Amino acid sequence: MSLSFRQSDILNIAKQDGRVMVEELAAQFGVTVQTIRRDLSELADMGKLDRVHGGAVIRSGVSNIGYEDRRALNDEAKARIASTCAKDIPDGASVFMNIGTSTEAVARQLMKHKDLMVVTNNMNVANILAENVECEIVVAGGVLRRSDGGLIGNLTVSTIRQFKFDYAIVGCSALDADGDLLDFDFQEVHVSQTILAQTRRTFLVADHSKFQRAAPARITSLAEIDTFYTDQPLPDRLSNRCQEWKTTLRVCK
């Protein structure tokens, strides 16, 4: 698919400013907001931009999208994924939840669960579940990453190693064609790998936008994931690999 002149200009604006807004673009180009939304959707389908509420942000393979933009990205799909995942967590379980807006969505779906122990290095998850009086919360201390409320570093890893979890609910920044889970922060990758070593079952929550992104650091393979919750089918090749790996796919529509 080739870019129209307007789409090319939109992409240049996004590269310069980091993000674009629908109403501002409609006024600038003298077209309807519906036309701009269609342009942004086509640019997203081409892997040029990521859609967020009210606009789009530039896609990058070496740095992550800003936290607030990630929170708004595919929020309806994340809610469906979170609801399905939460239903597979029984009352009375011990659960680890890592950094990410998808894991935060799952936390919101655990508000009525009883007798849970949740260990997390995500301050946002802790704050969400603080309202569930039936949930014991353990925060894995470490260095606070102010951009998203994540805790990382050696202290976080040391805390996690004190536990053996029934379930780990994890997200990732990208998922490549080989089925590798990827992230941007090498310290966060070390934390995630420690989580995987300390759990009996691992659930991955990631919407389809992760299929089109790239990140430099490898966490693990889908072969090490028990259940993958997403919102769109995987490419046939990767879906077949998951069958070989005995990784269960749950497409949440």
Are 14 and 120 part of one and the same domain? no
Range of the domain at 119: 72-251
The domain that holds 96 is classified in CATH as 3.40.50.1360
Task: Please report which confidence band the pLDDT of residue 69 belongs to, taking 50, 70 and 90 as the band edges.
Answer: low
Q: 């609801």: which residue's tokens?
A: 83
- 67 part of a folded domain: no
Are 45 and 161 part of one and the same domain? no
The domain that holds 31 is classified in CATH as 1.10.10.10
Are 80 and 48 part of one and the same domain? no
Cα separation, 157 vs 181, in Å, equals 19
pLDDT in the model for residue 210? 84
Are 53 and 106 part of one and the same domain? no
- 244 part of a folded domain: yes
Q: In what order do the strands lie in the sheet with 55-58?
A: 19-21, 55-58, 49-52
Are 191 and 77 part of one and the same domain? yes
- 120 part of a folded domain: yes
- Tell me the pTM: 0.75
Are 53 and 77 part of one and the same domain? no
Candidates 92, 95, 85; CA nearest to 164 is 95
- 66 part of a folded domain: no
Are 127 and 197 part of one and the same domain? yes
- 178 part of a folded domain: yes
The number of domains in the chain is 2
Contacting residues for 193 by C-beta, under 8 A, at least 6 apart: 219, 220
- In the predicted model, what is the mean pLDDT of residues 123-140? 96
User: Quick check: 106 pLDDT over 90?
Assistant: yes
**In percent, how much of the chain has pLDDT > 90?**
69
Are 151 and 229 part of one and the same domain? yes
